[in-house]
Structure 1
Amino acid sequence: MSSTASPGTTLYKFLVYAPDKADPSAAHHRQALQAEHMKVNEPKLKSGYFNVAGLLLSEPSLGIPENKQTLAGSFMIVEAENIDSVKEHLKKDPYYTSGKWDTDRVAIHPFYWALGQQ
């Protein structure tokens, strides 16, 4: 259980898909926001809110050097009390507030984790 939840609170898992807006300087834009992005998310990282998170790559990025890959967005698996709390947290992220993520295409799906959970 995450430390942000009250004892006895049921937490649900959510898959979050946050694609980037089309941006020829995506890597530079992300790099400029990364420190602030990590600072905003640090309390959630420490609390156990995030199970998994990372960058989405474009398919042509497979098999090429990391510094040449094309970034396509972000994904995360989080634990929260409800979908509204996930939305509220996303709206505070610098990638959201700066317009880096395509907020019209952000998707949040509750799910049941059947395999691979530690």
Structure 2
Amino acid sequence: MLPRSIHSSALSCIRCTHPPPSIFKWDCARFISSTSTKLHQYIVWAPDYTEKGTLARRMTIRPKHMLGANKLISQGIIKVAGGLLTRESQDAEPHNRKFMGSALIYEAESLEDVRRLVEADLYWTEGVWDKEKLVILPIVDGNYPSGVSWYHSTNAERRGLTRQGE
């Protein structure tokens, strides 16, 4: 277990012998503090532009976007993330789904840190997310009676089929 003063992503940056790829335009040093660092959670609602061609642009750059997002997930910075679907494509086959945006939960020191991460994302830089409608808000993690948070619980726990420790 790492002390709270060093975020897990700092270690991966410290261990790097080369700078992270350009899609990660944030400074790892911001995660290191001589005092205990308080991390907060933020929800990001990132609707896509509605202009023609946005969905095609999203799908073209999605593989590279996913590489960047998965790196932040593995570092514990993104806690939950997913594409927002139109209602009519909810039950569609994956190749027929129509996305209308993204929702993400980040853990960081400040809203400004989250904004920098969002603005480094390919969906931002390549014009998929609507920059004027994107919203970042602090969020409080609701704990379930079992004491485990939603994103640390299993799918069965989320559906109420089991409780942690049973």
**Equivalent of residue 40 in structure 1, options 68, 72, 86:** 68
* Aligned counterparts, 1:89-100, within 5 A: 89-100=117-128
**Which structure 2 segments of 5+ residues have no match?**
10-30, 153-166
1:82 aligned partner: 110
When residues 69 and 99 of structure 1 are mapped into structure 2, their CA distance, relative to the original with a 3 A threshold, is same
Per the TM alignment, residue 72 of structure 1 is displaced from its structure 2 partner at its CA by: 0.6
Identify the structure with the greater strand proportion.
1
Inter-CA distance 39–66: structure 2 relative to 1 (3 Å threshold): closer
Larger radius of gyration: 2
Give the TM-score, by structure 1 length.
Answer: 0.86
Q: Which moved more, 1:52-61 or 1:41-50?
A: 41-50
Number of matched pairs: 118
Task: Choose between structure 1 and 2 for higher RCO, CA contacts under 8 A separated by at least 6 residues.
Answer: 1
State whether residues 47 and 130 of structure 2, in contact with CA within 8 Å, keep that contact through their aligned partners in structure 1. yes
In 2: Cα distance, 1:51 partner to 1:3 partner = 13
Moved over 6 A (4+): none
TM-score, scaled to structure 2: 0.63
Q: What CA RMSD, in Å, does the superposition of the two structures yield over aligned residues?
A: 1.9
Report the Cα distance in structure 1 between the residues aligned to 2:114 and 2:98, rounded to whole angstroms: 27
Listed as ranges, the matches of 1:1-118 within 5 Å are 2-4=7-9, 5-6=31-32, 8-115=36-143, 117=149, 118=152
Percent identity (aligned): 27
Contact kept in structure 2, 1:26 and 1:71, CA below 8 Å = no
